[in-house]
């Protein structure tokens, strides 16, 4: 029951990420994709008549090179919608709420997983002895018949099995924490992402 409770507690960071970040991230990505499509589509539609007008103003003797230069210069010019959208992206890029939430989620998982690791390590250390001496076939009066007292070594296979399961669980939790730490180091140290600090 204790391990089941720990499993429920360790699910809290995932629930927090699901409700606080996942829906927000999905809606923002959908908005960005839609705005990118609309913004650049409108810009392309607005440039087309301007390009056509400039080509016609050059007359029928316009060369392919001049035509290409007109198109390239028109593509370099940004529409007001593009400037506004790029400013929004720049400002949005300075927001580090999701990065902080991502870091907090991983650190919370590491901290919470230390509870079952400690519990299982204590259990593993205390349950060393799975073999003990037990008396079988004792007569009602042992003092009268001491030779009839039979002592054998008894074993509890379930204790050894539980120790093995505890060791496997400890190994899995430690591996999970190691993977999380490597992921955070790669994101904030190797890639030098400055989203949080």
Q: Count structural domains, the chain.
A: 2
Residue 11, in any domain of the structure: no
Name the pTM for this structure: 0.56
Contacts (Cβ under 8 Å, ≥6 apart) of 17: 101, 102, 105
**Are 131 and 188 in the same domain?**
yes
Question: Where does a domain end: 28, 60, 95?
Answer: 95
pLDDT higher than threshold 70 for residue 97: yes
**Are 133 and 186 in the same domain?**
yes
pLDDT higher than threshold 90 for residue 124: no
Task: Give residue 30's domain range.
Answer: 17-95
Mean pLDDT is highest, among 7-11, 118-122, 150-154, for 118-122
**Are 90 and 100 in the same domain?**
no
Q: What is the pLDDT of residue 67?
A: 72
Residue 7, in any domain of the structure: no
Burial of 25-41, coded b for 16+ CB within 10 Å and e otherwise, reads eeeeeeeeeeeeeebee
**Are 90 and 101 in the same domain?**
no
**What confidence tens digit (pLDDT) does each residue in 78-95 have?**
666 666 767 777 776 666
Residue 8, in any domain of the structure: no
Question: Where does a domain end: 44, 76, 95?
Answer: 95
**Are 83 and 156 in the same domain?**
no
Helices (H) and strands (E) in the chain, counts: 7, 2
**What confidence tens digit (pLDDT) does each residue in 29-54 have?**
787 777 777 777 666 666 666 767 76
């Amino acid at each position: 029951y204790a391990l089941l409770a720990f499993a429920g507690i360790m699910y809290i960071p995932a629930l927090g990420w699901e409700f606080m970040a996942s829906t927000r991230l999905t809606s923002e990505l959908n908005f960005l994709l839609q705005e990118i499509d609309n913004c650049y589509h409108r810009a392309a539609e607005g440039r087309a008549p301007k390009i056509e007008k400039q080509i016609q103003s050059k007359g029928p003797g316009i060369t392919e090179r001049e035509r290409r230069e007109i198109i390239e210069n028109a593509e370099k010019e940004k529409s007001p919608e593009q400037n506004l959208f790029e400013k929004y992206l720049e400002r949005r890029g300075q927001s580090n709420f999701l990065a902080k939430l991502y870091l907090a989620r991983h650190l919370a998982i590491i901290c919470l997983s230390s509870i079952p690791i400690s519990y299982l390590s204590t259990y593993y250390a205390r349950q060393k002895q799975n073999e003990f001496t037990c008396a079988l076939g004792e007569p009602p009066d042992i003092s009268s018949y001491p030779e009839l007292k039979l002592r054998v070594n008894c074993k509890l296979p379930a204790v050894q099995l539980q120790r093995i399961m505890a060791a496997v669980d400890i190994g899995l939790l430690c591996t999970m924490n190691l993977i999380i730490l490597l992921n955070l180091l790669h994101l904030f140290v190797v890639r030098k992402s400055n989203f949080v600090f």
